[in-house]
Amino acid sequence: MALITLMGHMGDAIQHVPAVAQATLTQLHHGLASQLHDGAKLIQVDVTAQDIQEKLKSVPQESQGGALVWLATHFIGMFQQGGQVFVGFVSGIIPTLVVLMTAFYAVTGLIGEERVHGLAQWAGKTPWTRYTLLPIISVFFLTNPMAYTFGSFLKERHKPAFYDAAVSYVHPPLGLFPHVNPGEYFVWGGVLVALLELEKNGKVPASYHVQVAVWYAIVGLLVILLKGFVTEWITNIIARRQGVDLENL
């Protein structure tokens, strides 16, 4: 800007000097104007914001910010993927879960707590039903964590084994009855998402997740039966070593 102003003053001054000096000043004036014009051509670059954006796309992220940018991008990407899964749950399983919980609580109220308790007392008489049927009834009707209160109908020496069986069966039925443990549905939900993706890609047969859910519940039932027998046996051994009479508690 200062150079342009100086050239303007030179143009005015040329008119007030002698002819010889005027010719010299005129040549100097034209020389400066020519250099200014050439410099403007050099400075002028025809680049748009979109051109710069395209150039940046071709540069790897590691080159732009190093490993820190890569770490930050993938770290937040993990939570973004989790958010997408959660949105799928909100529009899919969560409304179904609310309806299921409401329905089964209503069924329990219609049957009556006294009848349910009577069934629990009957199921606790033999070990085969105490560590299979009783945990199923307690988890199905009372859900987690209230299911463990059915242990109050049992003798003291049977309570640890029943708790071990019941607490181990709050996850296996989630694929069939998600209302039994809604707070930990993610245990089955993560498997379900993977199975649905495999079904979508044709890697496994359609409705394969239903088969897995059924077998999950069946295998879980066999596991809690085994755990019930083993825990009861361990409880008796520890009681004898410590001199505790469980029959009289």
In a domain? residue 18: no
The reported pLDDT for the residue numbered 89 is 64
In a domain? residue 154: yes
CA end-to-end span of the chain: 101
**Segments in the chain below pLDDT 50:** 1-4, 6-7, 9-11, 13-14, 16-17, 19-22, 25, 40-45
In a domain? residue 181: yes
In a domain? residue 132: yes
In a domain? residue 2: no
Report which of 162, 157, 192, 158 is spatially closest to residue 174, judged by C-alpha positions. Answer: 192
What 3-state DSSP class applies to 48? coil
* DSSP code per residue over 105-125: HHHHHHH-HHHHHHHHHHHTS
pTM of the predicted protein model: 0.57
The DSSP call for residue 64 is H
For residue 238 the two structure tokens come to: 């520890």
Note down the domain range covering 151.
90-248
Report which of 201, 193, 195, 183 is spatially closest to residue 85, judged by C-alpha positions. Answer: 193
Digit-coded pLDDT (tens) for 67-91: 777 777 777 877 777 777 777 666 6
Domains contained in the chain, number: 1
The reported pLDDT for the residue numbered 165 is 94
What 3-state DSSP class applies to 67? helix
The reported pLDDT for the residue numbered 102 is 75
Residue 125 and residue 214 in contact, taking contact as beta carbons nearer than 8 Å: no
> Under 8 Å CB-to-CB from 85, ≥6 apart: which residues?
189, 193
In a domain? residue 113: yes
In a domain? residue 21: no
In a domain? residue 14: no
